[in-house]
């Protein structure tokens, strides 16, 4: 058995209780074998074993008091995966499905994604199994304060810089930052990103993941001689990533006809994004109220991907493993020829293999959704300079970064003689090469 297979095998046994982590590890390692054929010396240096083992995992108790005076306890985590190219960087997820497997998969993906951004950031991820749904403002604030009471001693602007992810947006980052500032007695806004504009946030960070996703899609279309105008597009999710992907897709003439949430989906040829924003960003409600609010469209319970919807493009922006083999087949049989991941790992490995075998243009999350963390790194730069750039300046940098990530994928496809549409191997090889070279240069640590 070769080096890569031995490592995959080892982790399959060692981390059998972490299925999402194994899934991410298999996807990355399987598509980067060529690096290890070229560099047999990496085996002796234990490069893969070091890449697959987080530098540090912190787990902690998060006690808080609900509005009825009852004490509740959640579990908090921070996975500091790899710091070879910069401070650990990655979001915090508050969702009942959070566990160590999910955060290790997200942290692992983040390492390679962050390497692709061209900016000096290592990879990490954190969060809690806390469910923000139905909680009052006071409960959200007390939870964030308790979470940060433990986390603050493990992070810092040059150490580890958390941001948002599912269930964590500007409101939560505000409460987390306030508590950090109180406990640390430091005024270092670069310790968290996704902050409000009035206290160190960056313009475009709110929109960055969704906008960046569409910038990446535009690069793919251009490279394949196609135009975005009139392309029918479906988007799963209706959170931060999905909303701004929809906005930028519409600005570029794409026809978005569907969005979804964890309960159901809307179909509407005249999809009204303002109504979606009102429901999701302001009311924090369910898409079930969409049709009544805007007077057109349809709402159905269940997954968007179980419906037969004709489309050119699918942008999965909800959560991991939304699309399995059966759903991937349904997408393709309904005419979908481009899939770009706004979420992290929304397609399982069988779905991805099916796209590649059927010549679907497929952009993996670590390339296509890197605009969010890249703009977080631009927020860190602005905080260090104690200065801020205009919307146009940040947006232009974001476009340039997404174009550069696309180009890095193409360069690796060329350099390793891969199939022309294999963005999966292109992105994984580009990201891994950078991290591995940085690790090897720094010795055995």
Min dist. Cβ of residue 90 to ligand 2IT (A) = 5
The H-assigned helical ranges of 322-390 are 325-333, 349-357, 365-368, 371-385
Q: Which is nearer to ligand NDP, 162 or 164 (CB)?
A: 164
Q: Which is nearer to ligand NDP, 22 or 48 (CB)?
A: 22
Q: Which of ligand 2IT, ligand NDP, none does residue 90 bind (CB under 5 to 8 Å by kind)?
A: ligand 2IT
DSSP strand E in 116-231: where?
Answer: 123-128, 160-164
Member of 20, 27, 160, 165 binding ligand 2IT (CB under 6 A)? 165
Q: Edge-to-edge strands of the sheet including 160-164?
A: 56-65, 71-82, 123-128, 88-94, 160-164
Report the alpha-carbon angle 56-149-375, nearest 5.
65
Closest residue to ligand 2IT, Cβ-based? 91
Annotate each residue in 170-209 with x if it binds ligand 2IT (CB under 6 A) or - if it does not, as one string.
-----------------------x----------------
Say what angle helices 423-441 and 100-116 make with each other, to 10 degrees.
90
Task: Assess 342 for contact with ligand NDP (CB under 6 A).
Answer: yes
Report the alpha-carbon angle 313-319-324, nearest 5.
65
Only segment of 8-16, 40-48, 152-160, 239-247 that touches ligand NDP (CB under 6 A): 239-247
The candidate with the shortest Cα–Cα distance to 316, out of 359, 279, 286, 360, is 360
Task: Assess 327 for contact with ligand 2IT (CB under 6 A).
Answer: no
Q: Which two tokens stand for residue 355?
A: 């796209």
Q: Which is nearer to ligand NDP, 325 or 440 (CB)?
A: 325
Catalytic residue among 89, 125, 248, 255: 125
Min dist. Cβ of residue 306 to ligand 2IT (A) = 26
Q: Which two tokens stand for residue 424?
A: 């999966």
- Cβ atoms of residues 123 and 86 within 8 Å: no
Min dist. Cβ of residue 372 to ligand 2IT (A) = 4
DSSP strand E in 181-329: where?
Answer: 232-236, 255-260, 264-267, 298-301, 313-316
- Count of Cβ atoms closer than 10 Å to residue 169 Cβ: 18
Member of 62, 163, 315, 331 binding ligand 2IT (CB under 6 A)? 163
The candidate with the shortest Cα–Cα distance to 375, out of 404, 350, 340, 401, is 401
- Stretch 218-237 residues interacting with ligand NDP (CB under 6 A): 236-237
Is 133 labeled as catalytic in the residue annotation?
Answer: no
Interface positions with ligand NDP (CB under 6 A): 164-167, 209, 236-242, 260-263, 317-319, 322, 342-344, 369, 372
Interface residues toward ligand 2IT, by CB under 6 A: 89-91, 110, 113, 163, 165, 193, 344, 372-373, 376
**Which residue numbers are catalytic?**
125
């Amino acid at each position: 058995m070769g080096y890569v297979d031995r490592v995959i095998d080892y982790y399959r046994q060692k981390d059998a209780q972490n299925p999402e982590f194994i899934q991410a590890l298999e996807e990355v390692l399987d598509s980067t074998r060529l690096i290890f054929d070229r560099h047999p010396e990496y085996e002796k240096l234990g490069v893969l074993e070091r890449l697959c083992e987080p530098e540090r995992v912190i787990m902690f108790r998060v006690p808080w008091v609900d509005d009825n005076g009852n004490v509740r306890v959640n579990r908090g985590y921070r996975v500091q995966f790899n710091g070879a190219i910069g401070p650990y960087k990655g979001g915090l997820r508050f969702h009942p499905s959070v566990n160590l497997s999910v955060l290790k998969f997200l942290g692992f993906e983040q390492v390679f994604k962050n390497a692709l951004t061209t900016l000096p950031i290592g990879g990490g991820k954190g969060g809690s199994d806390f469910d923000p749904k139905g909680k009052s403002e006071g409960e959200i604030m007390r939870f964030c304060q308790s979470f940060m009471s433990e986390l603050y001693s493990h992070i810092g602007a040059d150490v580890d810089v958390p941001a948002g992810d599912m269930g964590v947006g500007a409101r939560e980052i505000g409460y987390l930052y306030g508590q950090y500032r109180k406990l640390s007695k430091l005024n270092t806004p670069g310790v968290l990103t996704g902050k409000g504009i009035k206290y160190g946030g960056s313009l475009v960070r709110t929109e960055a993941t969704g906008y960046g996703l569409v910038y990446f899609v535009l690069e793919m279309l251009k490279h394949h001689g196609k135009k975005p105008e009139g392309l029918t597009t479906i988007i799963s999710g209706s959170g931060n990533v999905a909303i701004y992907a929809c906005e930028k897709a519409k600005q570029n003439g794409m026809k978005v006809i569907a969005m979804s949430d964890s309960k159901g989906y809307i179909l509407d040829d005249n999809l009204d994004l303002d109504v979606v924003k009102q429901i999701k960003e302001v009311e924090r409600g369910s898409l079930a109220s969409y049709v009544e609010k805007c007077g057109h469209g349809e709402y159905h319970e269940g997954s968007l991907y179980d419906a037969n919807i004709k489309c050119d493009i699918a942008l999965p922006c909800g959560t991991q493993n939304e699309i399995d083999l059966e759903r991937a087949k349904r997408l393709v049989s309904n005419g979908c020829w481009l899939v770009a991941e706004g979420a992290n790992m929304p397609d399982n490995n069988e779905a991805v293999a099916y796209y590649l075998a059927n010549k679907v243009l497929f952009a993996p999350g670590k390339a296509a959704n890197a605009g969010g963390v890249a703009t977080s790194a631009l927020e860190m730069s602005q905080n260090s300079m104690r200065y801020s750039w205009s919307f146009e300046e940040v947006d232009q940098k974001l476009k340039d970064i997404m174009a550069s990530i696309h180009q890095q994928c193409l360069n690796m496809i060329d350099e390793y003689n891969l199939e022309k549409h294999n963005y999966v191997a292109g992105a994984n090889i580009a990201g891994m090469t950078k991290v591995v070279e940085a690790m090897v240069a720094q010795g055995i640590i």
